[in-house]
């Protein structure tokens, strides 16, 4: 059940309970309170802005295109696009994704990692 906040309409003619505001748990189908349960003076329900939680970063058009290439099996296209975007935005997750797609495309980066003696 949701918690609703209430506050006195007129702070001068109210008790300490409703002057500073109070919270009460009510069912959503219950009508809002109109009078303080302690002093019976008029009160109103306090409205709060809804909380919006966005997890992760928004998907860009470039990321959509990378996914499309990956879905189609066009690994080198996806890798090149991810690599360019990673360079531009300095995003490590895209750089790693580009390397994975390059490997799926058949590129072997291990031979470049070895030190020449």
The Cα–Cα gap between 42 and 60 comes to: 50
Find how far residue 103's CA is from the centre of its chain: 32
Mean pLDDT of 13-17: 89
Answer whether 14's CB lies under 8 Å from 36's CB.
yes
From CA 99, how far away is CA 83, in angstroms rounded? 8
Q: pLDDT band at 110, cuts 50/70/90?
A: low
Model pLDDT, residue 116: 45
60/36 Cα distance (integer angstroms): 50
How confident is the model over 46-83, as pLDDT tens digits?
887 666 666 666 678 888 999 999 999 999 999 999 99
How many percent of the chain have pLDDT more than 90? 46
pTM: 0.47
């Amino acid at each position: 059940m949701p918690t609703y906040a209430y506050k006195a309409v007129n702070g001068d003619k109210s008790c300490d309970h409703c002057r500073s505001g109070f919270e009460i748990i009510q069912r959503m189908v219950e009508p809002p309170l109109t009078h303080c349960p302690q002093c019976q003076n008029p009160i109103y329900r306090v409205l709060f802005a809804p909380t919006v939680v966005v997890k992760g970063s928004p998907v860009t058009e470039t990321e959509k295109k990378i996914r499309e290439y990956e879905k189609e099996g066009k690994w080198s296209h996806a890798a090149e696009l991810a690599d360019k975007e990673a360079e531009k935005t300095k995003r490590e997750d895209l750089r790693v994704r580009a390397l994975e797609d390059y490997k799926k495309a058949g590129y072997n980066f291990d031979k470049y990692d070895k030190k020449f003696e």
